[in-house]
A and B are shown apart, each in its own frame.
Chain A
Amino acid sequence: MNFISGVEVTSSALMAQKMRLDIVAQNIANAQTTRTPEGGPYQRKVVNFETELLQKSGGAALSAVRVGGITNDTSEGQKVFNPQHPDAGPDGLVQMPNVNLAFEMVDLITASRAYEANLSVMKSGRHLAQQTLRIGKQ
């Protein structure tokens, strides 16, 4: 049994959002990377979530969240004219990663807000459990 209700679901969401923050960090860090082990410039990574059904607690099952997969965004990045760059093509253009800093910042804020919302659920659950344990005390 669980003293804190909803703790499995909330912790799964916290982990999923944290993974999203990690991926955003990776995307921003590699915003200028033009060379990767797979060849070509860095490709932006996208996290997608999926539900995972949890135990039946009366009626509908609770659904936890997990990271379904991390996929590459295959859209093409900008080409920048920079003949001095070691990865420049014969025409002097450098294929840059398809990372858009504005998108990444929006993702970053969304993920951190979602993380905060889940944390407040956790706090409230803890408060409920403490009250329950105090039933009948002076």
Chain B
Amino acid sequence: MIAPIFQSDNYQLARKLLDAAVLRQDAIASNIANAETPGYRRLDVSADFSTRLKEQLVSGALKRGTADIRPTLAEDATARSVRPDGNTVAIERELMALNRNAVEHEFLTEIVSGNIKQLKLAITGRQF
């Protein structure tokens, strides 16, 4: 009975997305730190992470635990600079992304936590 919880799609997905959320926090920290560095191009989690994650989810590799996928950082090619120094960071957008990422992280930790609590409950039973 232990296997199904740790091999469920939700649990595995939440784990991978949690990795991505932590990496995105790194990227946002770097973007805000370099908000005034001339020529700096903003970083984000690479866009192919979500498509590859979906592929592995559909193929069932995620469930079997054979998935080999890690989020990576890449320069955000879609960001356009509106400043003469060529920097593509907009501080308002970064702060929004920061807050969004924090909420996402909270949600994902809740899922992972919930799965573990469920398993704990199954082992110990309800305590009266």
Which residues of A are in contact with B by a Cβ distance under 8 Å?
5-7, 9-10, 12-13, 49-51, 57-60, 62-65, 110, 114, 117-118, 120-121, 124-125, 127-128, 131-132, 134-138
Contact = CB atoms under 8 A, between A and B. Distances in A.
A110 B91 CA distance: 12
Interface string B88-119: 00010011001101100110010011001100
Query: For this complex, into which size category does the number of interface residues on chain B fall?
Result: 35 or more
A6 B18 CA distance: 15
Identify the 3 closest CB pairs spanning chains A and B, nearest first. Answer: A6-B29, A59-B72, A13-B33
Given A57-B73, A65-B33, A6 B26 contact: yes
A58 B44 CA distance: 11
A63 B32 CA distance: 11
Contacts, number: 112
Contacts of B22: 5, 128, 132
A131 B105 contact: yes
B30 interface: yes
Contact of B43 (A10, A50, A62): A62
Most buried by B among A65, A137, A138: A65
Nearest to B43: A60
